[in-house]
């Protein structure tokens, strides 16, 4: 089971040395996380791995356009890189797909390193593949490390936030969560991904080809809500994304969307019990949204009407959820964790190592 | 340490038998909790104790005006009552004061029973008296039971909710939480407690005599927020409650408040760092409030503006927070817990025993 050496490595973050962080996958989100981590104190990036030929062998500082070397060269082989660098935690960001990330997470666990991952399906993996989830939990316990999937959504807005909002309810009949985003304020690849500027016909063809997928993770969020509330759902249904057509010409930094063309999309999903949609998630993202918000409507005793005015920016939110989970994952008892079973989310102060050391450890 | 018998008693709630609940203190809130618990399945009230002569010896059903006996007679002595009834958890509701409840909580721990308490200062006792908090933690661990103080406020609206809302923040500069309540919709004793209908002079005299105290627990909430965010505050300041004078004549079920008389009060408290009020809590409660709400304003990256429209009813919220904490406390690892270190809040389904049995146990 947990060897003293592993315990020393992963459980003993001290304010006298920085937290050692590695990256598994150096894409857009990892780069943003790395930049945000460099703003913190008491943290050191010690390794990074990726499969892309144009990244392997280069200094991470160059890839992140930092105009300075970080002394961390992107490696191809995780085992070698991790055994040399001895990170306390791996920030994993390669894919949304549980089956794809499963062997990668296992590599980290085997090396005795805690993992926090952006993989959407890992946020509540029991829904997608219970066998994999249980195997990850068992393997993580065996190696004395903690694993968590998180992000802004899934991971917060459409699961943790509504679950938390049911805390003061004597009973809950129905939950509806809506995310209303102005995609014109987001990254250009994101605007492309949701079909901005296409004709309705082109949009439907892209849906057929699965090159437009809509928001990934609504089913994951529904399963987490149901687990937290003790609801045994009959079914979880995700509808195909629907195009939202511009009702007037709208300009973004990616495209000028003429009236009648696709401005963005709507993804809907339902958790169904006895024929009723007791969980309803609606993700709406298009150019020209005037009021951005995230809202939670709970029908119960009492009703709860919660709203985040202006919404939460997706990229910033995901970066923050990952970074803010580092202390919780390092201090958690070994195993696979999900956000609904972990301590409430919270921002981290500037000095990450000091905060981790002074926070209570679950294994004590 | 934990004897097998105790483990069996407190850790083995099965769907084949009800959760056994006892009450320590049978006042207004306990009575509301008991009534709400009787609406759930898989739960049995097995004991109740109180010091009041007009309660001891009477059936709990009569005290709750249920028009039926519950077969639970209010006892005076906790030790005898608990050793006979063998509850899984005690719902403790006697006082806001940590020093007063300390020996009572210890009695429960000594009897090997988990505790969830409405005591405001127990919600984050490290602020009020670190020695007592650490002693409770040590004693609870020694006896293999879990202890938690919770409620709507402190316990949720002005601490857990704002802490959770910082989850997607890369950094936080300042937090302001406002609770805006229409006291005219609350219980009559509550309206009396906040000075409704007094002259300003009478109000200030009551403040002097400490018979009007304002909202209890703002300092507790501030300390919990600071702990969660890793902020070492220089000071926590609670201002004396300020009267809010009616700007027009307002009628409630308790009093007709003529213009110029006290309609209610405002309690403010601040967490101060380097001379700046980085945590600001404002509790406003008076007759004639038109828009009730609970709001959280976070200045940081990003800013978060969260609002619960209509607010959360204090009594219902506290009852629900207590009941919804039962599964978490029973399944938690032994020790003194605080809401910022416990799993995210969530509503409980109708069948309490089934839910407790199927939820993961921290001590496994």
Size of interface A-B (CB pairs under 8 A): 180
Mutation target for B interface from A116, A167, A338: give the one with most B CBs within 10 A.
Answer: A167
What is the spatial distance between Cα A170 and Cα B317, in angstroms, rounded to a whole number? Answer: 8
Contact call for B163 and A346, based on CB within 8 A: yes
Which of these, B346, B308, B355, lies nearest to A164 by C-alpha position?
A: B346
Among chain A residues, the shortest Cα distance to B296 is held by A308
Which of these, B216, B237, B97, B98, lies nearest to B158 by C-alpha position?
A: B216
- pLDDT for A64 equals 87
What is the spatial distance between Cα B179 and Cα B284, in angstroms, rounded to a whole number? Answer: 6
Contact call for A316 and B301, based on CB within 8 A: yes
Burial of residue A202 (CB within 10 Å: 0-12, 13-18, 19+) is middle
Q: Examine residue A273 and say whether the peptide bond preceding it is cis (omega within 30 degrees of 0).
A: no
Among B167, B343, B347, beta carbon nearest to A169: B347
For B13-32, write each residue's pLDDT tens digit: 887 899 999 999 999 999 99
ipTM over 0.90: yes
Contact call for B171 and A350, based on CB within 8 A: yes
Distance from CA of A18 to the nearest CA of B (A): 17
Residue B20: partners with Cβ closer than 8 Å, 6 or more residues away: B44, B46, B85, B86, B87, B88, B89
For A312-343, write each residue's pLDDT tens digit: 999 999 999 999 999 999 999 999 999 999 99
Tokens for B304? Answer: 């978060």
Asked whether residue A8 carries a pLDDT value surpassing 80, the answer given is: no
Mean pLDDT, range B95-102, rounded to an integer: 97
- pLDDT for A11 equals 56
- pLDDT for A360 equals 82
Residue A138: partners with Cβ closer than 8 Å, 6 or more residues away: none
Average pLDDT, chain A: 94
Among A307, A341, A346, beta carbon nearest to B167: A346
pLDDT band at residue B11 using 50, 70 and 90 as cut-offs: low
Least confident stretch, A109-113, A213-217, B49-53: A213-217
Chain A residues whose beta carbon lies within 8 Å of the beta carbon of residue B157: 168
For B292-341, write each residue's pLDDT tens digit: 999 999 999 999 999 999 999 999 999 999 999 999 999 999 999 999 99
Distance from CA of A198 to the nearest CA of B (A): 31
What is the spatial distance between Cα A76 and Cα A120, in angstroms, rounded to a whole number? Answer: 23
What is the spatial distance between Cα B289 and Cα B276, in angstroms, rounded to a whole number? Answer: 30
- pLDDT for B362 equals 79
- pLDDT for A363 equals 65
Predicted structure pTM score: 0.96
What is the spatial distance between Cα A94 and Cα A28, in angstroms, rounded to a whole number? Answer: 10
Contact call for B303 and A310, based on CB within 8 A: yes
Chain A residues whose beta carbon lies within 8 Å of the beta carbon of residue B313: 302
Among chain B residues, the shortest Cα distance to A301 is held by B316
Asked whether residue B8 carries a pLDDT value surpassing 70, the answer given is: no
Mean pLDDT, range A256-269, rounded to an integer: 96
Contact call for B164 and A346, based on CB within 8 A: yes
Distance from CA of B175 to the nearest CA of A (A): 12
Contact call for A168 and B360, based on CB within 8 A: no
Tokens for B172? Answer: 């936080």
Q: Are A334 and B353 in contact (CB under 8 A)?
A: no
Among chain B residues, the shortest Cα distance to A353 is held by B230
The larger pLDDT score, comparing residue A152 to residue B8, is at A152
For A199-213, write each residue's pLDDT tens digit: 999 999 999 998 998
Mean pLDDT, range B68-86, rounded to an integer: 95
Residue B355: partners with Cβ closer than 8 Å, 6 or more residues away: A230, B42, B327, B348, B349
Which of these, A319, A315, A321, lies nearest to A183 by C-alpha position?
A: A315
What is the spatial distance between Cα A297 and Cα B161, in angstroms, rounded to a whole number? Answer: 16
Describe chain A by its helix, strand, coil percentages, rounded to 5: 35, 25, 40
Contact call for B316 and A302, based on CB within 8 A: yes
DSSP 8-state symbol, B124: S
The alpha carbon of residue A198 and the mean position of all alpha carbons in its chain are separated, in whole angstroms, by 28
Contact call for A168 and B317, based on CB within 8 A: yes
């Amino acid at each position: 089971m947990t060897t003293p050496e592993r315990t020393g490595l992963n459980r003993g973050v001290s304010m006298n040395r920085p937290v050692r962080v590695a990256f598994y996958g150096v894409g857009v989100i990892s780069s943003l996380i790395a930049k945000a981590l460099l703003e913190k104190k008491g943290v050191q990036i010690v390794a990074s791995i990726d499969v892309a030929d144009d990244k392997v062998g280069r200094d991470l500082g160059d890839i992140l356009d930092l105009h300075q070397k970080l002394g961390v060269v992107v490696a191809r082989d995780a085992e070698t890189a991790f055994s040399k660098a001895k990170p306390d935690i791996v920030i994993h960001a390669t894919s949304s797909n549980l089956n794809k990330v499963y062997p990668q997470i296992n590599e980290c666990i085997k090396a005795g390193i805690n993992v926090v991952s952006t993989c959407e399906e890992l946020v509540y993996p029991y829904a997608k593949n219970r066998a994999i989830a249980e195997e990850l939990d068992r393997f993580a316990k065996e190696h004395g490390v903690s694993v968590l999937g998180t992000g802004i959504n899934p991971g917060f807005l459409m699961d943790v936030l509504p679950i938390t909002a049911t805390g003061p309810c004597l009973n809950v009949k129905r939950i509806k969560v809506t995310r209303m985003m102005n995609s014109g304020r987001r990254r250009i690849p994101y605007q492309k991904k949701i079909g901005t500027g296409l004709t309705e016909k082109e949009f439907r063809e892209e849906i057929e080809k699965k090159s437009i997928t809509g928001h990934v993770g609504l089913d994951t969020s529904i399963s987490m809500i149901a687990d937290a509330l003790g609801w045994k759902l009959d079914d979880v249904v995700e509808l195909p994304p629907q195009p939202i057509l511009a009702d007037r010409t709208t300009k973004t930094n990616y495209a000028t969307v003429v009236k009648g063309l696709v401005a963005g999309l709507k993804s809907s999903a339902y958790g169904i019990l006895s024929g009723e949609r007791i969980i309803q998630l609606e993700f709406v993202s298009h150019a020209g949204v005037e009021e951005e918000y995230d809202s939670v409507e709970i029908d119960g005793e009492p009703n709860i009407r919660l709203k985040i005015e202006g919404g939460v920016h997706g990229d910033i939110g995901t970066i923050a959820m990952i970074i803010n989970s580092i202390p919780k994952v390092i201090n958690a008892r070994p195993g696979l964790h999900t956000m609904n079973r972990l301590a409430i989310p919270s921002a981290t102060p500037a000095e990450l190592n000091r905060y981790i050391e002074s926070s209570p450890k679950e294994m004590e």
